[in-house]
Structure formats: structure tokens, C-alpha cells
Amino acid sequence: MKASIVAVAALMCAGAVFAETPPPAPAAATSHMDNLATLLDLSDAQKAQVQTVLQQEHAKMKESFEQAKASGTKPDWQQMKALHQQIQQETLQKLQPVLSATQLKKFQIIQQAMHGHHHFGHGGPSTSSAPPAQN
């Protein structure tokens, strides 16, 4: 289960764009979306809508990073964090009419779990001085 949450979190993590990693293979992206659909108990219609919103989030993050890169500047960690938080809030607003209150809460929990793991794994500041628990 923990591996599934981490896998879903990786899909939602637009921060990978900042690290300039290649996009996931189509089969992997489908698998991640299937995992998210299972965890959130999404209907087929919800799954399509959530996938569209997450693709828009990813595209917006990528576009913002590419604009900064084209201008010859590289955003610092604080700027990236602020941008990421802003886009996440926009994503949550777009998902509110799509998901039930319970599904939205689960989505937020998955997102929070992913971001705690993401920052530690990529050398960004961690909210805790202790390393993550190993299960």
C-alpha cells in the first residue's frame, strides 16, 4: 500500500519537472492513474476529469520552468516552492467540483505524503530533522 501511495505521489509530483527528469512512459502514467483511481475510488468520469486536471498542473509547472530557463534565470528553491504551492491550490480548486469531500481529503493526504518524501529525496529542505522511517 505504501508503495502504491508513493507511486501515485510520484505521478502528481510536478517537482520532477524542476529536476528535468524525462516524463514517465505512457504505460507507467496509466498505471499511476489507475492506482490513484483505486485509492480515491474514482468513477470512470471522475478518472478522466482528474487525469485532465493533473496533466494541466504538470504542463503549467513545466511551462513555468521553461520560461524561467529561456530567460536565462533559474528559480531558487523558495521560488519553486511558492510556484508549486500556488499551482497545487489551483489544482485543488479545479478538483473540488469533481471529487467528493472524502475523495478530496484523500487526495490532499496523498499529496502531502508525496511532498514530504519528495523534498527529502531530492535534497530540498525537510520539515523534520529526522530521516523518514524505514518500513
Per DSSP, the residues of 31-94 read HHHHHHHHHHT--HHHHHHHHHHHHHHHHHHHHHHHHHHHTT----HHHHHHHHHHHHHHHHHH
Opening angle at CA 99, ends 98 and 103, nearest 5: 165
- Grid cell, residue 36, equals 490513484
In the chain, DSSP finds a helix count (H) and a strand count (E) of 6, 0
pLDDT of residue 125: 43
What is the average pLDDT score of the chain?
74
Q: What are phi and psi of 91, to 5 degrees?
A: -65, -45
- Judge contact between 110 and 39, C-beta under 8 A: yes
Listed residue (117, 107, 103) closest to 54, CA to CA: 107
Could you say which DSSP state residue 128 is in?
A: -
Opening angle at CA 63, ends 52 and 127, nearest 5: 85
**Predicted structure pTM score:** 0.62
pLDDT of residue 64: 83
Summarize pLDDT for 3-47 with one digit per residue, the tens: 555 444 544 543 443 344 445 446 777 788 888 999 999 999 999
Summarize pLDDT for 67-116 with one digit per residue, the tens: 877 887 777 788 888 888 899 999 999 999 999 999 999 999 988 887 76
